[in-house]
Structure 1
Amino acid sequence: YKRFLQKQQYHVLGLDHNRDVVTQISELSPFAVLLDVILPEKDGWNVLKELKENAHTKDIPVLVCSIASDKNRGFSLGATNYLIKPIVEDELIEALSYIDNTDTEEVNVLIVDDKADDILLTRRMLEAQGNYNINEAYNGKEGLNLINRQKPDLIILDLNMPEMDGFTMIEELKANETTRSIPIIIVSGEHLTAKQRDKLTDQVEVLLQKSNLTENELLEDVSQALARLRQEEKKRPRSDNIP
């Protein structure tokens, strides 16, 4: 990881395995911790648990980087993200880029769904874990009107809605140069045909089923979508508006 991260101007420190890991992290107060849950001297799950129970370290983001594919356990113990080895460079940089921005920036999320109870559930999942400013719309038409007033960082969208459904809203967003890059996560109970699914796969970040939705899954997909957005923004040439 050190080679990847130093290219991005991160200062990487290793820990002394002869000293208590949590104590060292408390003393260093790092920007983030990369943690493998399979450690030679101590169970990494216990390290994560102790970090989140310690007043001096509980707010430090922890990225689990491990061959163990137990994401649900990681998120339930407070991990910010969970990457499964082998980890590619872009994946790691995306995860850290998201943390870099969420420390200081409020994330604007628009939830578009015609069911108030589903909006409330999604809102609670997000607000419990991050610095989110959430707006709500009950159909695609309302959603587009809100976007015209304030462009969100991310849209969580249902498909089956009155007045304007999610499919039409996506077409409108992708046809507009100022909105086509907004990440979209579909959370819907709609049964999709193979043709619909193939088309949506090219237009949105991820398709989630309401009936199977978990908080950990939603938060992970939101985190990854925002990280990809931040990386794309960094790659774009900057232009200054001159009056």
Structure 2
Amino acid sequence: MIECDEREFWVMGLGANVERGAIICSYLAEGGHRCRTAKLPELGTCTPRAILLDISPYSDDGWGMLLEIKKNPQTRDIPVLPVYLSEAGQVGVVFPVAGFFTLPIENAYVNKKLTNLGLTDESEDYDLQVMLVTRRGEEPLQKVLEKTGFEIVNAYTGKEAIAVGTTVHPYMVFSSLMLPDMASFELLERLRLYPQTRNIPFFVLLKDTMEEGEKQAMSRAIDHLVRKNWLTRAEFLAFFKKSA
């Protein structure tokens, strides 16, 4: 039996090909972190410091794991950092998502999560705008955020979100996982290109289920973002310190 260590980072989504986690774990070890590969059932006996979840086309149902982790009240507070690992395990992209929320929204949980992250401290003293990027506006979430003191700005496509975000400089962003014109992670990557939106907390909204075709579409969208210039250890650790 593997000893439980809550200081560890777990690499998940690898299935039987656990050797694909060797490179990213070696990078973390060089940075002074403990890391190992793990499978979903292990979350029932131990809570890691954070999960690095492979969502590449080579992943073993990384999207399904993400939904399971974030739907379960016992595991949804574990930080999940989505990563793209190549077939050989090279690190392609890390997506610094601030968090995930499953739909339908639980009002109390959203308030608790944002408070724990320190994102509600100034909402009553300043006119802070939150950008919602969804097909339909997600009125329940909008009401929760308005009650907390935020002003809501809506965008309905990724392109519109980039135009609005670089103009109004929102305090944080909530985006559906898949938008009409791009995946939420592509929107995140594009916003990170602009100094005024580079460090905005970015939350992803998940449906409670995903069809197999949707998972494949998301994996293809992620694959499109990878330029096959694999991150070196130094590049990953520099990025990881900013993202973790």
TM score, norm. by length of structure 1: 0.37
Structure with larger RCO (C-alpha < 8 A, sep 6+):
2
Q: Going by fraction, where is helix more abundant, 1 or 2?
A: 1
Whichever of the two has the greater Rg, that structure is 1
